[in-house]
Structure 1
Amino acid sequence: MCAPKKQWDNATWLVTEFVLVGFSDLPHLRATLFALFFLMYLVTLSGNVTIIAIIQADRTLHTPMYRFLAALSLSETCYTLVTIPNMLARLLTDSQALSIAGCRAQMFFFLGLGCSHCFLLTLMGYDRYAAICHPLRYPLLMRPRVCLGLGALVFGAGFSVALAETCIVFSAPFCGGGRVEHFFCDLAPVLALSCAGRGAGRALALFFLSVLVVLASFLLILLSYALILAALLRMPSAAGRRKAFSTCAAHLTVVAVHFGCASLVYLRPASPGDPARDRLVAVFYTVVTPLLNPVVYTLRNREVREALRRALARGRGVCA
């Protein structure tokens, strides 16, 4: 493994290049991990691309809810591109070095897409609230121009938070060995390399930003579903209640997984943790969660399943 580049400045070794430890401490498992992660990555890409293609091709799915789902699938695809190809390449090579500029870019896009996911899931919760609680006003509340503006606001806000967090992390030099105890440039492992006495205040600022994004988004989703539940209880028909809530089941499942992982990773005070455990949790929210989302929306959403069956039937008809 190559050593991190350093320069001498004011009697302190300043790091000019990082070394991502990744899975280098498991040399006997690297081939197995590569095969496993590569297979999961292919399934994730194919699942998300399939959802986008189905929504685009089937006119019955040209509604705000499914447009937001297509945006979520596209965002998941980009989210995996930020970390997984780089991780796969490092499993095949001995070089684990990454420039500070490369680390900064990876962190910015990873955090930007992650924050955007939180805001997009919140927007999808609002969409379900508007559809169930205000069905007559729904076409006006969620007209195409409004949906486009809300989508732009979601991603603009997500990348604005990411820019602030990335600037906080890289606002001071890094000292020590330059070893990042992770397989990508995440907040805590990189911030841990800050020169002595320069990381505590920034860690607190990052913690409060994370609380603002994750907790505020989750509370808004809970509020949306509290209002939805109140509206469902007022419905006279049990069949109507089941039909209305069935459109929310997949979204609730994805919300539980996404915010559960985000809380475990980002809503904890800065403290030296177990790097192996942190990497395991990171594998779940960077590799497994993007794989679960298309599976959940395909299996738990009746309209998506029916659109997929129609697409398959058309495909068989063309081939016949």
Structure 2
Amino acid sequence: MTSSRAGRRRALSVGGAGLALLPLSVALAVTVGAAGLSVGDVFQSVAAHLGLPLEPPPPLRDAIVWELRLPRVLLATLVGGGLAVCGAVLQTLTRNPLADPYLLGISSGASTGAVAVLILGLGSGTAAALTAGAFAGSLAAFCCVLMLVGATSGDSLRVVLAGVAVSQLFSALTSLVVIWAGDAQSTRGVTFWLLGSLASASWSTVVLCAAVAGIGLAVCWAASPALDALAFGRDIAASLGVAPGRTRLLLLVTTALSTAVLVAASGAIGFVGLVVPHAVRFLVGVRHRVLLPACALYGAVFLLWADTAARTLFSPREVPVGVLTALIGVPAFAVIIRRRSTRS
């Protein structure tokens, strides 16, 4: 009983810290950049645009806050939180601690769709066309995985192998398009997108990702008891009254669609869905009713500061945020493999 109470207090403390850290991080991150801003400037700009009776900052500062930095900061929080939640769910569904949202080949599919838009000029290469192309490629990749494993397959190994095969297929298609039709300029743009970037953030993208990430979190959180049961295996989950096939299919579709929209908005940002769930699981335990909201909070904070570092550390140049997440994620990946082999 004492251990259970201590665990609840620890989870509440971690959750409370995340709830305080996220808005503070958003406010501070908006002030960081080549043009120096204060938290007061951020507050005045947001309040004025929300219709509150406050005088906005000078027009240039107001434009920097409202049009440039705030959409990017909010998009980073949404993408980071959404990918972390998807990673935690996939690690449970596949019973594979190395799983992340790219397990299903969705990132490679999105890359192929985006490359088709950028290089082949589909939809005039606009931001909306890029998002639509990446989304279509993501869905195509997920459909390929479903065809390979079957809609209700309970074999986690088959899911992993199908994801690897589909990822390689779409990576090959991406390379083929770049080699066949690309020039130097378009190839540079494709490379930057493939490494992950939030530079094209806009309010329309923020609204779309907020809706998708919110719905995805709600669906996964509602399935928390089923996820707790599935963590012990398909047979035990069935004995506890969970329908393993339907539940797995629902959550796989939810995570795949969420990842598709988030990747379409941000490019291929890897390792967020791998690193954050493991760190949060260490802090709050394995119960998904607590784990998933905590992953959303700390995934948001993680990617927010990674993107802030990516756009400021090497100023005036900007580093793709996927480069920084990989530099953090690869060592973490190695530690996870090491711990897993030691336990075996």
TM-score of the pair, normalised by structure 2: 0.31
- Which of 1 and 2 has greater Rg? 1
Greater length-normalized contact order (CA 8 Å, ≥ 6 residues apart): 2
Going by fraction, where is helix more abundant, 1 or 2? Answer: 2
Going by fraction, where is strand more abundant, 1 or 2? Answer: 1
TM-score of the pair, normalised by structure 1: 0.32
